[in-house]
Structure 1
Amino acid sequence: MTLRIMPTRNSLLASLTPSSRAALSQWMTPAHMAAGDILIEQGAPITELHFPLSGTLSNLVLFSDGRAAETACIGSEGLSGLAAFLADAPCAWQVSVQIPGQMVRIPVTPLRALAEADDRLMRRLILLSHDYQAQAAQTAACNILHSATQRLSRWLLLAIDRAGSDEVPVTQADLGVALGVRRSTVSDVLHEIKASGAVRLGRRRVHVLQRARLEHIVCECYGRDKDRSRDLGLVD
Structure 2
Amino acid sequence: MPHTMDPKKNHLLAALPEAEWLRCRGFLEPVDLPLGQVLYESGRPMSHVYFPCNAIVSLLFVMENGASAEIAVVGNEGIVGISLFMGGGSTPSRAVVQSAGLGYRMRAGALTEEFNRSGPLMHLLLRYTQALITQMAQTAACNRHHSLDQQLCRWLLLSLDRLQGDELVMTQELIANMLGVRREGVTEAALKLQKLGLIRYARGHISVLDRAGLEQRSCECYGVVKKEYDRLLPERRAT
TM-score, length of structure 2 as denominator length? 0.94
Specify the alignment match of 2:77 in structure 1: 77
Specify the alignment match of 2:210 in structure 1: 210
> For residues 70 and 155 of structure 1, do their structure 2 counterparts lie closer, same or farther at Cα, with a shift above 3 Å needed?
same
In structure 2, the residue corresponding to 1:117 is in which secondary structure? Answer: coil
Q: Does 1:162 align with 2:162?
A: yes
Specify the alignment match of 1:124 in structure 2: 124
Specify the alignment match of 1:197 in structure 2: 197
In structure 2, runs of 5+ residues without a counterpart are none
Specify the alignment match of 1:182 in structure 2: 182
Cα-to-partner distance string for 1:28-66 (whole Å, 9 max, x where unaligned) = 111111111100111111210010011211100011111
> For residues 33 and 137 of structure 1, do their structure 2 counterparts lie closer, same or farther at Cα, with a shift above 3 Å needed?
same
Whether the 8 Å contact between 2:85 and 2:115 is mirrored in structure 1 is no
Whether the 8 Å contact between 1:142 and 1:151 is mirrored in structure 2 is yes
Whether the 8 Å contact between 2:29 and 2:104 is mirrored in structure 1 is yes
Specify the alignment match of 1:171 in structure 2: 171
Whether the 8 Å contact between 1:35 and 1:98 is mirrored in structure 2 is yes
In angstroms, what is the RMSD of aligned CA positions? 1.5
Letter paired with 1:210: D
Cα-to-partner distance string for 1:103-161 (whole Å, 9 max, x where unaligned) = 00110111111111142111111111111111000000000000000000000000001
> For residues 102 and 2 of structure 1, do their structure 2 counterparts lie closer, same or farther at Cα, with a shift above 3 Å needed?
closer
Whether the 8 Å contact between 1:158 and 1:222 is mirrored in structure 2 is yes
Identity percentage of aligned residues? 33
Distance 1:56 1:28 in 2: 18
Specify the alignment match of 1:90 in structure 2: 90
How many residues are aligned here? 235
* 1:1-236 → structure 2 map (5 Å cutoff): 6-234=6-234, 235-236=236-237
Question: What is the deviation of 1:89?
Answer: 2.8
Distance 2:120 2:197 in 1: 44
In structure 1, the residue corresponding to 2:92 is in which secondary structure? Answer: coil
Distance 1:23 1:161 in 2: 28
> For residues 2 and 16 of structure 1, do their structure 2 counterparts lie closer, same or farther at Cα, with a shift above 3 Å needed?
farther
Question: What is the deviation of 1:163?
Answer: 1.5
Distance 2:3 2:144 in 1: 45
In structure 1, the residue corresponding to 2:46 is in which secondary structure? Answer: coil
Question: What is the deviation of 1:224?
Answer: 0.5
Letter paired with 1:113: E
Distance 1:227 1:28 in 2: 30
Distance 1:169 1:153 in 2: 15
In structure 2, the residue corresponding to 1:35 is in which secondary structure? Answer: coil
Distance 1:165 1:61 in 2: 28
Whether the 8 Å contact between 1:11 and 1:78 is mirrored in structure 2 is yes
Whether the 8 Å contact between 1:53 and 1:76 is mirrored in structure 2 is yes
Letter paired with 1:224: V
Displaced runs of 4 or more, over 6 A:
none
Whether the 8 Å contact between 2:158 and 2:222 is mirrored in structure 1 is yes
In structure 1, the residue corresponding to 2:116 is in which secondary structure? Answer: helix
In structure 1, the residue corresponding to 2:102 is in which secondary structure? Answer: strand
In structure 1, the residue corresponding to 2:35 is in which secondary structure? Answer: coil
